[in-house]
A and B are shown apart, each in its own frame.
Chain A
Amino acid sequence: MSRRISPVIPGFGLTLGYTLVYLSLLVLIPLGAMFVHAAQLSWDQIWNIVSAPRVVAALKLSFSTALCAAVLNGVIGTLLAWVLVRYTFPGRRLIDAMIDLPFALPTAVAGIALTALYAPAGLVGQFATALGFKIAYTPLGITLALTFVTLPFVVRTIQPVLADIPREVEEAAACLGAKPFQIFRHVLVPALLPAWLTGFALAFARGVGEYGSVIFIAGNMPMKTEILPLLIMVKLDQYDYHGATTIGVLMLVVSFILLLLINLLQRRIERP
C-alpha cells in the first residue's frame, strides 16, 4: 500500500486497524454472510423465490412508493430549503429546527401518528373519505409515510448549496433580461442539481428499506400493500430463511444499482 504518513502525527496503524476490524466484524462479514447464504441456493431456487407473484408485487410497491416519496420530497424539500435560506419571516428558526423531527422521532411513533391522522375517520382522512377515497391502508398512505420520514434529506442537502449561490448571479440574469422561469431553469437548476440528486438518492434508499413507519399505515395486504421489508419479516416468522435471505439480497442489489446510476448521473452533471 502506498501511503503518505504525516511524519509527526501518530496513530495511523491503530486507527485504520481499529476501523477496519470494527467495520468487518459488525458490517462487512455479517452482510457477506447473507450473500454466502444466498449463494448456497441454485439459480432455479432463487428464480422461484424472486418470481413469486407476492414478491414481485412487493418489489414494485416498495420501489414505486419510495420513488414517489423521493420525487415529492424533491419538490417539497426544494420549496422548504428555498424559503428557509432566502427569506426571513416569523417562525423561520422554528421550522428550520423542526425539519429534522422525522430523524429524531422513532419511526414507530411516526407510523402510528400518521395512521391515526390519515385513517378513514382520522383528522385528515375524513376529508378523503368525504371525497370518496382512502389514504391509509393504500399505496398513497405508504408514500405519505415515506415522505414524512425522508423529508429532511433533500432540505438538508440543498440548504448549504443554496446559501452559497450569490444573489448577484440571479440579479445579473434578471438584468440581462431573463424571466423568473429562465433564471430558475438556467441559473438555479444547474447549481442545485448535484445536491438535489444526493438528497433524492438518500431519500430513495431510505424509503426502500423503511419499515417502522410504513407497517402501521400500509394495512399489509399481500399483493396490494405489502412492502419488501415486511415480506422479509413474514418469511422469517415462517422460518423460511432461504426466502428471507434471497429477498434481502435482491433488495440490496437493486438499491445499489439504482444508487450507482444516480451517482454516475451526478458525475456527468458535475463534469460536463
Chain B
Amino acid sequence: MTTTTLSASAAANAARRGSAAGRIALITGAWLTFALFLLLPLYVVLSEALKLGFGTFFTALVEPDAISALKLTLLAVGISVPLNLVFGVAAAWCVSKYEFRGKSILVTLIDLPFSVSPVIAGLIYVLLFGAQGFFGEWLQERDIQIIFALPGIVLATVFVTVPFVARELIPLMQEQGTQEEEAARLLGANGWQMFWHVTLPNIKWGLIYGVVLCAARAMGEFGAVSVVSGHIRGYTNTLPLHVEILYNEYNHVAAFSVASLLLALALVILLLKQWSEARLSRLKSAGDEE
C-alpha cells in the first residue's frame, strides 16, 4: 500500500481531488435525470395542451363537464381533508403523548392504506355498499345511493389519504414531548385551552404540511375513485376521471388542457409544501439552539 509513503492528510487531499471529476459527473447525472424524468413530462403536458392555441385550451377548461368535474373534485377534497385532519390530530395525540400496549400496532394500522392498492380501496366499498354488497339491499330499500355517487367518492378518497396528517404529526409531537402541555395544565388551563394555546401553535407547520400532502393526493386520486364513481359525466366525474374520458375519446388536446390545470394545482401544492417545510425546519433549528 502507498499509505506508508503518503502522509495521512495528503491521502485525504488526493481523495478530495480525485472526487472532483466524479463530483461533476454526478451533478451532471442528477441534472440529466431531473430533466429527463421530471421536466420532460411537464413540458409534454403543456405543449400538447397548447398545440391548437390558447382558444381551444380555454374552451376545454370552461366546458360544463369540466366545470362540474372541478366542483366535484373540490367538494371531495373539501370533505375528506378535514375528516383526515381531525383524525390525524387525534391519532398523533394518543400515540405521542401516552404510552400504552399495542402502540406500534396502531401506528402500523394507521399506515396501512399506503400499502393497499387504490383499486382495492374502491373494491372494498363496492363489496360493502354496492348493489350486490353486504348492505346493498338495505340501502336500496331506503333509496340511499353510496356507490356511483358522492358518498362513495368521498369514502374512497378518505381511505387513500388516511395516513397523511397523522404521519407528519406523530414524529413532530413525539419530539416535542409533554412538558409544555403539563406546564399549561399546572397553570390552570383546561384541556381545550391547553390544546388551542400550547399544542396547536407548536404543531401548526407540521399540520399544514400534512394537510398539503393530503389535499394533493385527494385531488389526484384516480384508481380508488374510478372504481366507485361509475363515470357518469357531469355527475360523478372528478377532474382526473374527466382527463381519462377525454383521452380515451382521442380528444387529446382537451385531455391535456384539463391535465395542465391539475399540473398547475400540483405546482401550487409543491410551493405550499416547500413553504411549510421551510417554516418547520426553521422552528426545529430554533428549538435545537435553545
Q: Which residues of A contact B (CB under 8 A)?
A: 1-6, 8-12, 14-16, 18-20, 22-23, 26-28, 30-31, 33-34, 37, 76, 79-80, 82-84, 87, 89, 91, 95, 97-110, 112-114, 116-117, 122-124, 147-148, 151, 171, 174-177, 180, 202, 205-206, 208-212, 216, 228-230, 232-233, 236, 239, 241, 244-245, 248, 251-252, 255-256, 259
Which chain B residue has the least Cβ–Cβ distance from A104? B266
Which of A11, A103, A256 makes the CB contact (< 8 A) with B213?
A103
Which chain B residue has the least Cβ–Cβ distance from A170? B15
Cβ proximity bits B167-188 to A, threshold 8 Å, 1 near / 0 not: 0000000000010011001100
Query: Which residues of chain B are within 8 angstroms of A151 by Cβ–Cβ distance?
Result: 37-38
**Interface SS of chain B:** helix
Does B94 lie at the interface of the complex (its beta carbon under 8 Å from any beta carbon of A)?
Answer: yes
Docked-complex contact A211 and B93, CB < 8 angstroms: no
Closest 5 A/B residue pairs (Cβ): A209-B117, A106-B220, A212-B222, A211-B223, A177-B3
| Total interface residues in chain B, CB < 8 Å | 101
**Nearest CB of B to A150, in Å:** 11
Q: Please, how many angstroms separate the alpha-carbon atoms of A216 and B100 in the complex?
A: 46
Which of A4, A10, A95, A252 makes the CB contact (< 8 A) with B34?
A95
Which chain A residue has the least Cβ–Cβ distance from B33? A76
Which of A11, A31, A100, A105 makes the CB contact (< 8 A) with B273?
A100
Docked-complex contact B182 and A6, CB < 8 angstroms: yes
Docked-complex contact B239 and A106, CB < 8 angstroms: yes
**Interface SS of chain A:** helix
Which chain A residue has the least Cβ–Cβ distance from B126? A236
**Nearest CB of B to A91, in Å:** 7
Which residues of chain B in 183-216 are interfacial with respect to chain A, using CB atoms and an 8 Å cutoff? 185-186, 191, 194-195, 213, 216
**Nearest CB of A to B155, in Å:** 7
Query: Which residues of chain A are within 8 angstroms of B252 by Cβ–Cβ distance?
Result: 116
Query: Which residues of chain B are within 8 angstroms of A232 by Cβ–Cβ distance?
Result: 117, 119-120, 123
Docked-complex contact A107 and B240, CB < 8 angstroms: yes
List the count of A-B residue pairs having beta carbons below 8 Å apart.
285
Docked-complex contact A117 and B41, CB < 8 angstroms: yes
> If A27-B113, A105-B220, A112-B243 touch, does A37 touch B90 (CB 8 Å cutoff)?
no
Q: Please, how many angstroms separate the alpha-carbon atoms of A101 and B267 in the complex?
A: 8
**Nearest CB of A to B242, in Å:** 9
Q: List 27 A-B contacts (CB under 8 A).
A: A1-B100, A2-B101, A10-B194, A26-B159, A27-B109, A30-B125, A34-B123, A83-B27, A95-B30, A97-B270, A100-B273, A106-B222, A106-B262, A106-B266, A109-B220, A109-B259, A112-B255, A116-B252, A148-B41, A171-B15, A177-B1, A210-B223, A211-B222, A211-B223, A212-B240, A248-B119, A248-B124
Docked-complex contact B98 and A87, CB < 8 angstroms: no
Docked-complex contact B159 and A30, CB < 8 angstroms: yes
Query: Which residues of chain A are within 8 angstroms of B128 by Cβ–Cβ distance?
Result: 30, 33
Q: Please, how many angstroms separate the alpha-carbon atoms of A204 and B203 in the complex?
A: 31
Q: Please, how many angstroms separate the alpha-carbon atoms of A232 and B224 in the complex?
A: 12
